[in-house]
Amino acid sequence: MRIFCGLGNPGAKYAANRHNIGFMALDHLAQDHSFSPWRARFQGLVSEGLLAGEKVVLLKPQTFMNLSGQSVGEALRFYKLQPEDLIVFHDELDLPPGKLRLKHGGGHAGHNGLRSIHGHIGEAYGRVRMGIGHPGHKDAVAAFVLHDFAKADAKWLDPLLAALSQSAAHLAKGDGGRFQTAVALLMAPPKPQSAPKAPKTATVAAPGTAVADLTGPDDTRSALQKLRDRFRADG
C-alpha cells in the first residue's frame, strides 16, 4: 500500500495556480483510474483505488501548503505506513516546464510544502518533481507560483498530467526507474525510422551511348558490364 500526496492550496482561488500542479496530478489520476469519490479525512481530501493491483490512497491536504505535513503525518500514522511508502507530487522551479524527476530523500530546497512534511515525518519519502520553470529572480517566485498557468502552458501541462497518470502504476509497484522512463517516452516518443533507401541499379547503355555518360562515382557496374557497354557504344 502507498500514499500518493499532491501538494497545493485549497479553494477555487488557487485551483489553477502553478503551485497546485500536485493537486492537478492527483485529480487526473483519480479520474483516469476510476478511484473512489473524494472525501474529507486527515485534514485533507482522500480518494482510494488500485493501480496494478496495489492499493493506493490519494491525499490532497487542505491545510494550505505550509502546513501540509500535518495532514501527511496523520495519514501515515493511521495506515501504519513508513515515510518510504509516501510519494509526494509537487511543483519544481528548478526544472524546465514539462520535465519530471523522481527523487527519494534529501532536502526540501525551500519548498514550503516539503519543509512542513520534513518537519513531521523526516526526509525519507519520495517526490515527483514536476517542472514549472523559474521566473528568473527569487523575488518574483511567490507571485509566480501563486499565479495561474498561462493558456500556452496547456501544450505541455496536459500531456505531462496524462503521461504521469498512464505511468503511475510503476510507482505503485515501487519501480521509479520505469515510471520516469515511461513518462519520458510518452512526452517525447521516438521518431519513426525512415525506410532504407533502395540501392542504385546499374544503367545499361543503349547502342550509341557515349561511355563518358556512364562513368563517375555513382557508377555501380561490374567490370564485365562496363566492357559490354563499351562494345555496345562502339557499335
Question: Annotated active-site positions, please?
Answer: 19
CA neighbor of 18 nearest in space, from 26, 9, 29, 27? 9
What does the alpha-carbon distance between residue 78 and residue 9 come to, in Å, rounded to a whole number?
23
Q: Where are the beta strands (DSSP E) in 29-160?
A: 39-41, 44-51, 54-61, 86-92, 100-104, 126-131
Amino acid identity of 170? H
What does the alpha-carbon distance between residue 17 and residue 24 come to, in Å, rounded to a whole number?
10
Q: Which residues pair with 17 in a beta bridge?
A: 148
Please enumerate in sequence order all residues whose Cβ is within 8 A of that of 64, keeping only pairs 6 or more positions apart, or say none.
9, 10
In this structure, how many other beta carbons lie within 10 angstroms of the beta carbon of residue 148? 12
